[in-house]
Amino acid sequence: MSLTFAIRASPWRCTNTPRLARALSTTPDKEHLSPSSNKPSSAPVPHLKVIHSTSGEYTSSLLATRRFQPGQVIASFADTLSLAPTKRYSTVQVSKHAHIELNSDLVYMNHSCDPAAVVDVEFNVVAAAKEIAPGEPVTFFYPSTEWEMDQPFQCWCGSPKFSIFGGGVGIVYISLILILSFVVQCLMVVQGAKGMHKTQLDQFAVSKHILELAAERDSTNPKKASEAIALKA
């Protein structure tokens, strides 16, 4: 998949009211990446439900309470967002230098290397990247908006999409693994798009500002680009 958000007309199909969403996952959600006492406000979002684990931290998730079809708008954050004075664990990067707070339960969307949803910072919506059934987590690929994560973390999503190899080697490796019916565990450190090679970014629907920042990086430092491998587990 190589979608980008450089599309002018909204690519998402709006269903009912803006603002819905859901998610769940095995990786830390933005809300719980830090024990900060300065927690962002969080308002309920229709058709989404936050699940707080009682067994420890890093296990909250946002689940869908209804079915969403691929491309369908899950939720809008246009009416709740606020410009953040600085990047932090709960913010979403919306341009090369600007970050926003979602100010809703969307902050509980976890990261996944095989995300169920995409965050479109141009139209301020969360849309389904695949069919999402009730009870399934609404996740998104954090590097699709974040150039450098405020708090990098280890991803345990288990997606076979990534391997410890970058680019073509990784694709060949994954193909072989799939043929052999093995599951490649994702051991990626999620630190933002800055550490990812362009060929890796091309596998995801990433924001326009991420593509621009990657192009700037690769044009000013080709050597760095060739060394940029996301998997530094």
Interface residue list for Zn ion (CB under 5 A): 113, 155, 157, 159, 186, 188
Of the pair 164, 211, the CB lying nearest Zn ion is at 164
Of the pair 188, 196, the CB lying nearest Zn ion is at 188
| Least distance to Zn ion, CB of residue 25, Å | 9
Q: Is 116 helix (H, G, I), strand (E, B) or coil?
A: coil
| Least distance to Zn ion, CB of residue 136, Å | 17
Whether residue 60 contacts residue 1, with contact meaning beta carbons closer than 8 Å, is answered with no
| Least distance to Zn ion, CB of residue 14, Å | 29
Angle at 11 between CA 9 and CA 13, to 5 degrees: 115
Proportion of the chain in helix, strand, coil states, percent, rounded to 5: 20, 20, 60
Whether residue 136 contacts residue 64, with contact meaning beta carbons closer than 8 Å, is answered with yes
Say how far apart CA 197 and CA 232 lie, in whole Å. Answer: 12
| Least distance to Zn ion, CB of residue 62, Å | 17
| Least distance to Zn ion, CB of residue 162, Å | 6
Say how far apart CA 175 and CA 29 lie, in whole Å. Answer: 30
Of the pair 84, 205, the CB lying nearest Zn ion is at 205
Of the pair 40, 192, the CB lying nearest Zn ion is at 192
Of the pair 93, 159, the CB lying nearest Zn ion is at 159
Spatial CA neighbour of 92 closest among 152, 130, 147: 147
